[in-house]
Amino acid sequence: MVCQACGAPVANEVHFCPRCGVQVAAPAVYAGYPASPQMLASMSRVRRHLQTVGILWCVFGAYRVVSGLVGMFFLRAVTMHGYGGWMWGRHFARPFGPPWMGALMPVVAVVTVVAAGLALLVGYSLLTRQSWGRVLAIVVAIFTLLKFPFGTALGIYTLWVLAPSMSGAEYEAIAEPRM
């Protein structure tokens, strides 16, 4: 090793430079090679942001459940019962829109369950450091980019944290071992 303050050679087991007295840090090593500062910054990004990304995916899953339930409520109100009842009179009690819209209810329910389930699964896998969580998060984040504005923001944030190859190496280092 070399002292970064004065350039004097320093033995590997010494913590202080014998020439100037500055504390010497061991060089960062990644996969047996010296690591660059950019590599170290990229690697620490996953550690710093992984829990936040996992929590945000869980919150997004809950948001998807609530928005799906609200959507089903309004779809049912518009297509089957209308807005109103005995107190609104006959004009407002009739269903609005074509009758085929009532068939959309199961589609909305399935999309809500699948989207919320995937979001919650991504959040769980990231929070528990599952080895398959990074790949699942990247795939679901790409699809979530279409759900403007919250899904787009969460998808971009997830891809920024997990997509680079250096992030993959760090995630593997902190992930739970496969069983």
Nearest by Cα to 46 from 141, 171, 179, 132: 171
Please compute Rg for the chain using Cα positions. 27
The answer on pLDDT for 57 being more than 70 is: yes
Q: How many other C-beta atoms lie within 10 A of the C-beta of residue 129?
A: 16
- Mean pLDDT in residue range 146-174: 92
CA distance 167 to 126: 13
- Mean pLDDT in residue range 143-162: 96
Ordered by start, the domain boundaries in the chain are 1-35, 45-174
Helix (H, G, I), strand (E, B) or coil at 29: strand
- Mean pLDDT in residue range 64-81: 82
- Mean pLDDT in residue range 110-129: 95
Three-state secondary structure of 108-144: HHHHHHHHHHHHHHHHHHHHCCCCCHHHHHHHHHHHH
Beta strands (DSSP E) in the chain are 29-30, 33-34
